Structure 1
Amino acid sequence: MQALQENKMGVKPVPSLILSMSFPIMLSMLVQAFYNIVDSMFVSHYSQTALTAVTLAFPLQNLLISVSVGTSIGVNSLLSRKLGSRDLAAAKKAAGNGLTLSVLSWIFFALIGLFLTKPFISFFSSDPELILMGTQYSTVCLFFSLAIFIDITCERIMQGTGDTFHPMIIQGTGAIVNIILDPILIFGLFGFPRLGVLGAAIATVFAQHVSAALAIYYVKKNKEIKLDRPSFRLEKQTVKDIYAVGLPSIIMQAIGTILNTSLNKILIGFGTAAVAVFGIYFRLQSFIFMPIFGLNSGMIPVIGYNYGARRPKRIISAVKVGIIVSLSIMSVGFAVFTFIPHILLGLFNATDEMMAIGVVAMQRISLCFISAGFCIVLGALFQGTGDGYISMIISVTRQLIFLLPAAYLLGHFVGLDALWYSFIIAETSSLALTIFFFRRVYVKKIKTLSA
């Protein structure tokens, strides 16, 4: 009788559990990847200056998202572990503290939006129009960012309790609202004023508020977690436990901004076509990698719950299912990037120079897809057991110690075509580190659960 009352993460067959929890997240992430491409297309059709302004504002947005996603991953991991160990009071505290931390994070970024966006954009250019557009976009997106903090945290709370369906609805609704509003507010359709970049920013934050309203509604209806006023009061140990997993995730995502900026700086030495090709690759690969990150998000609460419940067999089973799904998706991605890169590039109206660079780039970078998928899945194990710092170590090593130096050296001494091999060098090192840490976590934390 007790087993029937237990959360599905402790009793449902693992293969169907992983797929049922991960698929909605994977689908919503694909929708988000599609939106990112469409959004850039609308802005680029307004003007090249508008696209440049939004591009310059991206590092600030990426930092904001890094903090919100990283904190919510910490909440997700702690919440699922406490549910697994039947400590419902601690689980409720994790959710409430997570929302409080989201509000505090918003205040920090709202101040940045008010006082630092113009100096930040001015650092890149002295063009008055570009500074105005970039400042408008950044200020609106940062000052009104409370919605995205609340939305992301609520979604992770739901995922931590095993609910991945409603987060899919929330993300999908937000993306659709944004896609609809973008052309209306940017180009002034249906009697609305032509607002350009400001319109794109307003569309973004309006869609985020729609998502946040839905997220709050569904969290209130969640049967596993019933929040009350005391749960929002910050508790030192709870905050520490959240950031034990969350801070490494924040650092990992923030490093991505450093990586992309640095790679663009290296590639610009080979001409704008090389930068354009990398930009196209980065957008296209999201359709392959986003589902794997969705799989990762679906696995974390399952691993965390069963770690808290001391069920090592279900943890290993979850990892095995994740590896099979990940390698299947990455194999398809590898085949597509290897055999039809010219078709992919043609979708972006690539010039002959871009086509020559891009075919080589995509074929070589795709060689590391399968190993990357393996590493992402094992990253869910580290985060689910509360060892988020391991993922941070692997990420820093891959991107800053191996990828960037290798890209610079190969590009400088051999040439552009050789530069793309730096991705393979980086993923090989990442794979070796991931296997090393997996064996360590398995022996010290997973194997001892059955003792």
Structure 2
Amino acid sequence: MSAADTSYMKEKPVLSLLLSMGIPMMLSMLINSLYNIVDGIFVARMSEDAMMAISLVYPVQNLLHSIAVGFGVGTNAVIAIFLGSQKGESASSAASQGILLNIFHGLLFMIFGILFMRPFLNMFTSNETVIVYGMQYGIIVLCFSMIHTTELSFEKIFQSVGHMKTSMISLGSSCMVNIILDPLLIFGIGPFPEMGIRGAALATGIGQTTGLCIYLLTSRIRPLNLQFKPQYFKPTQNICRRLYGIGIPATLNMALPSVLISVLNILLGTFSETQVLVLGIYYKLQSFLYLPANGIIQGMRPIMSYNYGARESSRVKKIYQTSLSIIVLILLAGTVLCLVVPDQLIHLFSNNAATITAGRQALRIICIGFAISGISVVTAGALEAMGKGMESLLISCLRYIVLILPLAFILSHFIGVGGVWHAFWITEVITAALSAFIFYRQYQAIA
């Protein structure tokens, strides 16, 4: 592997480089968030019980996604750091072992997920219709676990060498297949069978399979600057330690929202099932806002990892500041939407007047913290890119567990359900201040 293959990561102007790598991922994330919204709209047309079911299964899906993406982030960072240090063979070993280990993660999750799906649903509802829907949807989704983890491994590997357009095409194709198949399989249009909520799950699995096939085909037609030789797939202590050293904290970072949602579902259930539904709708809408921001983060990671490996400290700081500026602008746009048209946003998922009223209150309060949350989001991604997994995990723990849960319980006791929503923005303000402090301490160590 020649140095010229990736040297542009420390030579090209930061803003143009970040946009060239971040915009394809932004578009991918926007398409993906569109899928999440469209999927919810079609399921909601079945019934609110069906929408409730996928809201309850969402933390399980998110946990699987978190494991795959989190470990993929570790793989991405290790590959890019090795490339920045001009260690091509080590980069190839990291890519090969990352794929193998993530396939194994998917297998374990499928087995345990299917075994414990019903007990998990029983924790949140006694409505048998919701439980049946949740089982039908969840088990089919889990059967595609290994395909999903493998697809996401390839996504992060392609991103680590700067092939963002391939990721955009793969993710976009996956989502479009899903969107097209959703109404056909849910409602039985034309020659397709009417499968109900099972159809929504099957459409998701077929979309993931499509994405994986595109990566495999592309890697055959236009091979990466990484080698996948049999000897590279044999796990080694050094590579595995580095992959898991970043991957485990990154996985926990992504899994913590699932824990938060599950705990808040219990708390909100003490008020009404409507509030539980509002939380599920909020996270569907949130994906439309934060996934584009995460697209910039995905573009930022390999650039920052490469420059960190190359010891380009001033460039690392500039990458951080530029990414932060872009993401704050994205989150400000989301704030305006939630303040101006909250009813229309909730109406996408429910026609129930009580749900729309409760959702309006939630969105207008939560969105106060959107822009300031950009500091925490960028800092966590930057620390992962620098191999500082535990520091990144600390930020996520503050956002999703340590601060928000006690605040939600305390404030809800005094001011009712609105206290849960106020806990979101208060947490973001505190975490942002701590995140900025953590990043600049780490930066001083390499400056």
TM-score tier (shorter): over 0.9
Q: Secondary structure at the match of 1:191?
A: coil
Change (3 A) 1:129 1:408: closer
Note the C-alpha offset of 1:388. 1.6
Q: Residue in 2 aligned with 1:83?
A: 83
Note the C-alpha offset of 1:47. 4.0
1:17 is the counterpart of 2:17: yes
Contact 1:295 1:377 in 2 (8 A): no
Q: Secondary structure at the match of 2:270?
A: helix
Q: Residue in 2 aligned with 1:325?
A: 326
Note the C-alpha offset of 1:343. 3.8
Contact 2:60 2:258 in 1 (8 A): no
CA distance, structure 1, for counterparts of residue 125 and residue 316 of structure 2: 51
User: 1:275-424 to 2 correspondence within 5 Å?
Assistant: 275-349=276-350, 351-424=352-425
User: 1:117-156 to 2 correspondence within 5 Å?
Assistant: 117-121=117-121, 130-156=130-156
Q: Secondary structure at the match of 2:288?
A: helix
TM-score of the aligned structures, taking structure 2 as reference length: 0.93
Change (3 A) 1:128 1:346: closer
Change (3 A) 1:105 1:419: closer
Q: Secondary structure at the match of 1:386?
A: coil
Q: Residues 229-269 of structure 1: CA distance to partner in whole angstroms, max 9, x if unpaired? A: 11111111111101111111111222211111222222233
Note the C-alpha offset of 1:340. 3.4
Which residue identity does 1:16 align to in structure 2? S
Note the C-alpha offset of 1:169. 0.4
Contact 1:154 1:219 in 2 (8 A): no
Contact 2:249 2:393 in 1 (8 A): yes
TM-score of the aligned structures, taking structure 1 as reference length: 0.92
Q: Residue in 2 aligned with 1:274?
A: 275
Note the C-alpha offset of 1:92. 0.3
Which residue identity does 1:374 align to in structure 2? I
Note the C-alpha offset of 1:122. 5.2
Contact 1:304 1:384 in 2 (8 A): yes
Aligned pair count reads: 445
Which residue identity does 2:371 align to in structure 1? I
Note the C-alpha offset of 1:49. 4.0
CA distance, structure 2, for counterparts of residue 288 and residue 391 of structure 1: 21
Q: Residue in 2 aligned with 1:236?
A: 237
CA distance, structure 2, for counterparts of residue 198 and residue 415 of structure 1: 37
Q: Residue in 1 aligned with 2:110?
A: 110
Q: Residue in 1 aligned with 2:166?
A: 166
Note the C-alpha offset of 1:348. 4.2
Change (3 A) 1:280 1:193: closer
Moved more, 391-400 or 5-14: 5-14
Change (3 A) 1:268 1:169: same
Contact 1:296 1:379 in 2 (8 A): no
Which residue identity does 1:331 align to in structure 2? L
Note the C-alpha offset of 1:37. 1.5
Which residue identity does 1:223 align to in structure 2? L
Which residue identity does 2:274 align to in structure 1? A
Contact 1:158 1:219 in 2 (8 A): no
Moved more, 71-80 or 226-235: 226-235
CA distance, structure 1, for counterparts of residue 286 and residue 297 of structure 2: 17
Change (3 A) 1:118 1:332: closer
Moved more, 89-98 or 388-397: 388-397
Note the C-alpha offset of 1:286. 2.1
Note the C-alpha offset of 1:40. 1.9
1:201 is the counterpart of 2:201: yes
Note the C-alpha offset of 1:51. 3.4
Change (3 A) 1:435 1:125: closer
Note the C-alpha offset of 1:110. 2.8
Note the C-alpha offset of 1:307. 0.8
Change (3 A) 1:107 1:26: same
1:187 is the counterpart of 2:187: yes
CA distance, structure 2, for counterparts of residue 357 and residue 136 of structure 1: 29
CA distance, structure 1, for counterparts of residue 169 and residue 244 of structure 2: 27
CA RMSD in angstroms, aligned pairs only: 2.2
Note the C-alpha offset of 1:431. 1.2
Contact 1:151 1:216 in 2 (8 A): no
Contact 2:55 2:280 in 1 (8 A): no
Note the C-alpha offset of 1:213. 0.9
Change (3 A) 1:6 1:151: closer
Q: Residues 266-304 of structure 1: CA distance to partner in whole angstroms, max 9, x if unpaired? A: 223333333333333322222221111111111110000
Note the C-alpha offset of 1:357. 3.6
CA distance, structure 2, for counterparts of residue 378 and residue 372 of structure 1: 10
1:432 is the counterpart of 2:438: no
Q: Structure 1, unaligned stretches of length 5 or more?
A: none
Which residue identity does 2:441 align to in structure 1? R
Change (3 A) 1:343 1:42: closer
Q: Residue in 1 aligned with 2:259?
A: 258
Note the C-alpha offset of 1:131. 4.6
1:43 is the counterpart of 2:81: no
Change (3 A) 1:56 1:361: closer
CA distance, structure 2, for counterparts of residue 329 and residue 64 of structure 1: 27
Which residue identity does 1:206 align to in structure 2? I
Note the C-alpha offset of 1:195. 1.8
CA distance, structure 2, for counterparts of residue 414 and residue 204 of structure 1: 40
Note the C-alpha offset of 1:67. 0.8
Q: Residues 161-218 of structure 1: CA distance to partner in whole angstroms, max 9, x if unpaired? A: 0111110100010111111112222222222222222222222212211111111222
CA distance, structure 2, for counterparts of residue 349 and residue 137 of structure 1: 20
CA distance, structure 2, for counterparts of residue 114 and residue 154 of structure 1: 25
CA distance, structure 1, for counterparts of residue 14 and residue 282 of structure 2: 34
Which residue identity does 1:283 align to in structure 2? K
Q: Secondary structure at the match of 1:234?
A: coil
Contact 1:109 1:143 in 2 (8 A): no
Note the C-alpha offset of 1:406. 0.8
